[in-house]
């Protein structure tokens, strides 16, 4: 990686106490992202993507137990005091959540929410903050920005609300932006617009970005590297072109197969991943994906594969029987 490392997640695990026992939401995850780079984190709902992002932001539930290190710009976020974290969030690390209706305050105008952010982190005066707020709304493609500043979130469409959330996240020129399923509640046309907006602003500002999604199609062409998560673990990690050219993990293959094909005949059934994700409160002995994997052998049910280097040092996967792309069968 040519860019200096901005964020390093080292052996991070998150445990949540539940009435059914301990829930391991994130299991020994290691990730790195350089300044100006984009990392895609992909996986099914419940695989630990959002909990990983909350571990990075230090916004975990009150009773959660976090182990490992989260190094950001030379600081260990796990060891920072609450006041230091509060100043860091929004200023250096920003986040865009999947549902802007819950992340925006419904009883405050758009202008109030933008202006408060600018005054808190950049210490701008009221007039300068209002002018900057209108510029930010215009930059994210919102027409008549001065008028929008006086409106409330419920007066905007879903796509407009998400643009406002992006404007707030970008307002303080963060070094790292975490976009957690930013297009889930939007229609397909608006999804593309929001993703293009994020990519354009990421390049223009040379900030690092973590794009969290359940759709491999979203990260194709929009990220530099992809980490695939399953049952709280990273099971495959590679540069984006390498992953799509030579994916080795059966779970990654299954996610890609589930994407609708534009040239498919009408009413063609989508391939589905059989079975259900494992119960995180009842970890299994072997590979977490083995009950659903068509390549699984006896060893897969006995041992848990580690995330290891493949023939290329920048491509890692956790599988005893990786897919052989050329042959189309497992090794």
Kindly report the pTM of this predicted structure: 0.90
Which residue in 252, 209, 227 sits closest to 29, CA to CA? Answer: 227
Per-residue pLDDT of the chain (331 residues; tens, 9 = 90+): 456 899 999 999 999 999 999 999 999 999 999 999 999 999 998 899 999 999 999 999 999 999 999 999 999 999 999 999 988 998 899 999 888 888 899 999 999 999 999 998 988 899 999 999 999 999 999 999 999 999 999 999 988 999 999 999 999 999 999 999 888 767 888 888 888 888 888 988 899 999 999 888 889 888 999 999 999 999 999 999 999 998 999 999 998 888 777 787 888 887 888 888 888 888 888 999 999 999 999 999 999 999 887 666 689 999 999 987 543 444 4
Rounded to 10°, the helix 158-170/188-205 angle is 10
Look at residue 330 in the predicted model and tell me its pLDDT: 41
CB atoms within 10 A of CB 302: 12
Both 271 and 147 in one domain: the answer is no
Q: Is residue 194 part of a domain?
A: yes
With H, G, I as helix, E, B as strand and everything else as coil, classify residue 52.
Answer: helix
For residue 206, the enclosing domain spans 5-92+174-330
d(C-alpha 181, C-alpha 286), whole Å: 30
d(C-alpha 170, C-alpha 182), whole Å: 14
18 strand-pairing partners: 21
Q: Which of 130, 153, 172 is the last residue of a domain?
A: 172
Q: How many structural domains does the chain have?
A: 2
d(C-alpha 277, C-alpha 323), whole Å: 21
Q: Is residue 320 part of a domain?
A: yes
Both 192 and 153 in one domain: the answer is no
Look at residue 328 in the predicted model and tell me its pLDDT: 40
Q: Which residue has the tokens 């419940």?
A: 46
With H, G, I as helix, E, B as strand and everything else as coil, classify residue 136.
Answer: helix
Q: Is residue 97 part of a domain?
A: no
CB 271 within 8 A of CB 258: yes
Both 318 and 229 in one domain: the answer is yes
φ, ψ of residue 30 to 5 degrees: the values are -120, 125
**Cα dihedral value 21, 26, 27, 28, nearest 10:** -140
Q: Is residue 298 part of a domain?
A: yes
DSSP 270: P
Both 188 and 314 in one domain: the answer is yes
Both 44 and 157 in one domain: the answer is no
Which residue in 103, 90, 16 sits closest to 51, CA to CA? Answer: 16
Both 156 and 190 in one domain: the answer is no
CB 172 within 8 A of CB 90: yes
DSSP 87: H
Instruction: Classify 173 in phi/psi space as left (phi over 0), alpha (psi -120 to 50) or beta.
Output: left
Both 12 and 86 in one domain: the answer is yes
Which residue in 9, 45, 48, 12 sits closest to 283, CA to CA? Answer: 48
Half-sphere exposure of 241 (CA within 13 A, CB side): 0
Both 83 and 112 in one domain: the answer is no
Q: How far is CA 313 from the centre of its chain?
A: 23
d(C-alpha 149, C-alpha 157), whole Å: 14
Both 232 and 147 in one domain: the answer is no
What element of type H or E holds 276?
Answer: none
């Amino acid at each position: 990686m040519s860019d200096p490392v901005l964020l390093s997640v080292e052996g991070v695990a998150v445990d949540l106490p539940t009435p059914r026992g301990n829930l391991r939401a994130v299991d020994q995850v290691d990730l790195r992202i350089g300044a100006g780079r984009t990392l895609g984190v992909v996986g099914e709902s419940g695989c630990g993507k959002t909990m990983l992002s909350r571990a990075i932001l230090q916004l975990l539930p009150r009773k959660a137990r976090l182990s490992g290190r989260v190094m950001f710009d030379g600081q260990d976020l796990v060891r920072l005091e609450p006041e230091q974290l509060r100043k860091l969030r929004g200023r250096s690390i920003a986040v865009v959540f999947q549902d802007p209706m819950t992340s925006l305050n419904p009883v405050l105008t758009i202008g109030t929410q933008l202006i408060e952010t600018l005054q808190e982190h950049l210490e701008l005066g009221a007039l300068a903050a209002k002018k900057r707020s209108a510029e930010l709304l215009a930059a994210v493609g919102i027409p008549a920005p001065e008028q929008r500043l006086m409106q409330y979130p419920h007066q905007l469409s879903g796509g407009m609300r998400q643009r406002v959330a992006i404007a707030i996240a970008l307002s303080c020129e963060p070094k790292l932006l975490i976009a957690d399923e930013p297009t889930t509640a939007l229609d397909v046309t608006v999804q593309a617009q929001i993703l293009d907006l994020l990519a354009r602003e990421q390049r223009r500002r040379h900030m690092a970005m973590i794009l969290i999604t359940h759709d491999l199609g979203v990260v194709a062409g929009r990220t530099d590297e992809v980490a695939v998560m399953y049952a709280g673990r990273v099971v495959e990690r590679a540069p984006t072109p390498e992953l799509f050219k030579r994916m080795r993990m059966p779970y990654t293959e299954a996610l890609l197969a589930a994407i609708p094909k534009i040239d498919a005949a009408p009413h063609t059934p989508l391939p589905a991943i059989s079975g259900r994700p494992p119960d995180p409160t009842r970890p299994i002995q072997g590979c977490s994906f083995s009950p659903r994997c068509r390549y699984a052998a006896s060893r897969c049910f006995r041992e848990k594969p580690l995330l290891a280097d493949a023939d290329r040092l920048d491509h890692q996967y956790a599988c005893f029987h990786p897919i052989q792309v050329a042959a189309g069968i497992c090794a």
